[in-house]
Amino acid sequence: MSTQQGGRFFFNVDWITILIYVALCTIGFVNIYASIYNPDTSTLFNFGSNYGKQLIFIITALVLGFSILLLDAKFFSVFAPIVYGVTLLLLMVVLVVGRKVAGNQAWIPLGSFRLQPSELAKFGTALLIARYVGNFNPKFRDIKSIFFAGLIICFPLLLIMLQPDTGSALVFLAFMFPLYREGLSGYFLLIFLGMIVLFIADFLVPISVLIPIILLVGGFFAYQNKRKQQMMFSMIIATIVAVAYLFLVKFAYEKVLEPHQRTRIEIILGLKTDPKGAGYNVIQSKIAIGSGQLTGRGFLEGTQTKYGYVPEQSTDFIFSTIGEEWGFVGCSVVIALYIFLLLRVINLAERQRSTFSRVYGYCVASIIFFHVFINIGMTIGIIPVIGIPLPFISYGGSSLWSFTVLLFIFLKLDSNRMGFI
């Protein structure tokens, strides 16, 4: 079977996805080049510079990706628990030997490179979730399966929180989508949405106004359902929980969050302006993007980019280079490429015969989606500054490799979709 398949091996791979992948990597390289560009010293292939390094990262990522395509598809399902276990181990190791970069103890130094276990944790968790759902086919109607899936997600999440790397931890919420697809009640998504709304409202509206509103709304729905005792009961519970949540948020906000995180939230909610301090990144990023206008200033013509006004521009804020030099048109193209990739991955996932592959596909799409949404949202000021990279585009080997591995594992599973795992 394997020989027969080997002949059709590349035929079965979804070349469209690979094309989008290459396109995004190229956009990344071009914009990293622009954001580091210095008219006096630049040559295109300077491997000492960051864009030269990025070129090496892209080439090695491609090699890595195609090596994955050569592996046996069964490998991932079989080794999922081991990958997950190693990931957890690394997450614990990093807390001990990790090197602090920008306040987060997220890196393990390995020679001249640094390993970021939280990147590995994303596909480790994705694999185990897929394996769990594939093996047991739970419909997430019972507490037990929800609890078990939650456990798989929460172990790495909590370990990452300890680094503390809130941004990477947040990405683990992406696993809600595959679980939802596999049967988790839609209420979880709604509750999640409600939690966000209440969280924001907690800052903007005084609690003395908010609580009566919640009680009124809760009371109204409880009254509506007075015939159905169970519904009424759960409405009352929900109302109480909502009020408790409000106080919890206030408490967590003041006692748990770091001052810089608090400031970031306050800036986004418009409660505070601090153009020189914590708000500087966002303001400069917005200025750079906004100054691109419809068609952008042109390649290497962005003044904010060229003269270094946006900090972290080649990594987390790479989108500001795209925004300034390529304008609204360029931004739209990038977002369209991402959306096309995400919809493509989901469609591919849906055509899988094995549940494992499908769930894994959803995990890939959701993780990429979270990164894209949070990263771009942060650069244009609709989400607090959370330091996570823009998939395939941001500078950095760890992130590019881990996204490549994440995506190519799925492409491998997809190329083998007719096979049995």
Partner 1 sequence: MDNLFNRKYIIQGLFIVVALILLGQLFYIQVASDRYFLSANSNVLRKKYTFPARGIIMDRNNKVLVQNEPVYDLMVTPSLVKPFDTAALCRIIGIDMKGFHKRFNKAKNQSRYQRSVFEKQLSVQTYAALQERLSRFVGFETQNRTVRHYPDSVAGQFFGYVKEVSEKDIDESNGYYRPGDYIGKAGVERQYNDVLQGERGVENTIYNARNVPQGSYLNGKFDTLAISGETLVSSLDIRLQKLGEQLLKNKVGSIVAIEPATGEVLAFVSSPTYDPNLMVGRQQGNNYMDIFRLPNRPFTVRPLSGYYSPGSSFKPVDDLIALQEGVIDPNTTFNCPGVYWAGNHPVKCEHVDGNISLRRGLARSCNTYACHVFQKLMTQPKYKSKIAAYDDWQAKVRKFGLGSKLDLDMPFERKGRLFTSEEYTKRFGKYWGYTTIISLAIGQGEMSATPLQMANIMSIIANRGYYIKPHLIKAIGEKRDVKKEYLVKNSVGIDLSHFEPVIDGMQDAVNAPYGTARDSAIPDILMCGKTGTVQNPHGKNHSVFIGFAPRDNPKIAIAVIVENAGFGSAYAAPIASYITETYLKGKLSGNRVDRAEWMKKQVVLPEIPKPKIYWGPKVADSTRKADSAARITVPPAPQKKPAANKKQLQLTK
> Applying CB under 8 A, which residues contact partner 1?
177, 180-183, 186, 284, 286-294, 303-304, 307-309, 323-324, 327-328, 331-332, 335-336, 338-339, 342-343, 346, 350, 362, 365-366, 369, 373, 376-377, 380-382
Closer to partner 1 by Cβ: residue 81 or 183: 183
At residue 100, the 3 state secondary structure works out as strand
Q: For the chain, what's the residue count?
A: 421
For residue 156, is the peptide bond before it cis, meaning its omega torsion is within 30 degrees of 0? no
Residue 382 C-beta: closest distance to partner 1, Å: 5
Which stretches of 258-302 are DSSP H helices? Answer: 259-268, 280-291
Structure tokens at 18: 């690979």
Closer to partner 1 by Cβ: residue 80 or 372: 372
Residue 292 C-beta: closest distance to partner 1, Å: 6
Closer to partner 1 by Cβ: residue 122 or 181: 181
- Residue 146 contacts residue 140 (beta carbons within 8 Å): yes
Residue 277 C-beta: closest distance to partner 1, Å: 13
Sign of CA dihedral 119, 120, 123, 129: negative
Element (H, E) at 108: strand 104-110
Strand partners, 104: 101
DSSP 3-state percent helix, strand, coil across the chain (nearest 5): 70, 5, 25
Q: Residue type at 248? A: L
Closer to partner 1 by Cβ: residue 21 or 362: 362
Which has the closest alpha carbon to 61: 415, 416, 414, 399?
Answer: 399
Closer to partner 1 by Cβ: residue 155 or 358: 358
Q: Say which residues have a Cβ less than 8 Å from residue 85's Cβ, sequence separation at least 6.
A: none
Structure tokens at 274: 């601090």
**Rounded CA separation 366/357 (Å):** 14
- Residue 350 contacts residue 72 (beta carbons within 8 Å): no
Dmax (CA) of the chain: 77
Residue 289 C-beta: closest distance to partner 1, Å: 6
Residue 271 C-beta: closest distance to partner 1, Å: 19
Residue 300 C-beta: closest distance to partner 1, Å: 14
**Rounded CA separation 5/417 (Å):** 11
**Rounded CA separation 404/168 (Å):** 17
Closer to partner 1 by Cβ: residue 110 or 294: 294
Residue 316 C-beta: closest distance to partner 1, Å: 16
User: Burial, 102: exposed, middle or buried (Cβ in 10 Å; 0-12, 13-18, 19+)?
Assistant: exposed
Distance of CA 36 to the CA centre of its chain: 25
Residue 387 C-beta: closest distance to partner 1, Å: 18
Closer to partner 1 by Cβ: residue 86 or 176: 176
Spell out a b/e string for 348-360, using b for 16 or more CB atoms within 10 Å of the CB, else e: bbeebebbbbbbb
Residue 407 C-beta: closest distance to partner 1, Å: 16
Closer to partner 1 by Cβ: residue 16 or 382: 382
Residue 2 C-beta: closest distance to partner 1, Å: 28
Closer to partner 1 by Cβ: residue 180 or 221: 180
Closer to partner 1 by Cβ: residue 168 or 375: 375
Closer to partner 1 by Cβ: residue 96 or 294: 294
At residue 104, the 3 state secondary structure works out as strand
Residue 389 C-beta: closest distance to partner 1, Å: 16
